[in-house]
Amino acid sequence: MDKISRAEALERVGQAMFGFGWIGRLSGHEQYLLATGPQGSRSPMATLQVNDVMQAGRRANEMRHQHMAVDAWLKDHRLHGRRCSRARFQKVFAAEFPASVSPGTTTPIATKRAARGTRASSRSRPQRDRAKRALKAIYSTGIPDQSSEPNKILYKKVNQWLKANGLSEVRNDSILRAAGRR
């Protein structure tokens, strides 16, 4: 009998419940910030780091709440064991989250696209996608406007986050478009 792991079930239900707001896990940089706290003096860079630590703490809290909600959903549907039947999970998942599943099947839409190698959109924008991913991680409560967070600081934070997470940096105009400022 094919089983589904708790981690896979948690991820699938979390993505279905919270969509793009789902925080499966914290980045390595966020974990580092929470473990070490802000470093240094009262310099402007140290102030940015304090803000980063606070943001990482907010994301960690939000992640805990999301995981608790998904755990409760799994328990309510008796899918909370260490490993449960994949077929049973698919059946319950398809009934609860029909928008996440292709019509007439129990296979998630994202899985079908990945198998075909196609994207939902017709045009690929990898730099903007990386910038959006970084902005979502840095500003989970919403991107501040330019008067409270100048573009220069925005560029620096996004590219630092990308570098810390092993991704290549992006151009400034891609960051502005991802942030809705251009």
State pLDDT tens for residues 51-61: 788 888 888 89
Note whether 73 and 158 are same-domain residues. no
Note whether 73 and 141 are same-domain residues. no
Give the total number of structural domains in the chain. 2
Q: Is residue 152 in some structural domain?
A: yes
pLDDT digits (tens, 9 = 90+) for 12-45: 888 888 887 888 888 888 888 888 876 654 555 5
Q: How far is it, in rounded angstroms, from Cα 169 to Cα 151?
A: 15
pLDDT, mean of residues 66-74: 88
Q: How far is it, in rounded angstroms, from Cα 176 to Cα 182?
A: 6
Residue after which a domain boundary falls, among 91, 116, 141 = 116
Give the CB-side neighbour count of residue 7, counting CA atoms within 13 A: 1
Note whether 155 and 173 are same-domain residues. yes
Q: How far is it, in rounded angstroms, from Cα 46 to Cα 60?
A: 21
For the whole model, what pTM was predicted? 0.51
Q: Is residue 121 in some structural domain?
A: no
Q: How far is it, in rounded angstroms, from Cα 11 to Cα 23?
A: 9
Domain hosting 65: range is: 3-116
Note whether 171 and 103 are same-domain residues. no
Mean pLDDT, the chain, whole residue set: 79
Predicted pLDDT of residue 157:
93
Residue after which a domain boundary falls, among 116, 134, 153 = 116
Note whether 100 and 150 are same-domain residues. no
Note whether 130 and 111 are same-domain residues. no
Note whether 106 and 20 are same-domain residues. yes
pLDDT digits (tens, 9 = 90+) for 71-114: 888 888 888 776 788 888 888 888 887 766 544 444 444 544 44
pLDDT digits (tens, 9 = 90+) for 156-172: 999 999 999 888 899 99
Predicted pLDDT of residue 38:
64
Quote the crossing angle between the two packed helices 28-36 and 151-164, to the nearest 10°: 100
Q: How far is it, in rounded angstroms, from Cα 73 to Cα 49?
A: 36
Predicted pLDDT of residue 172:
92
Predicted pLDDT of residue 48:
63
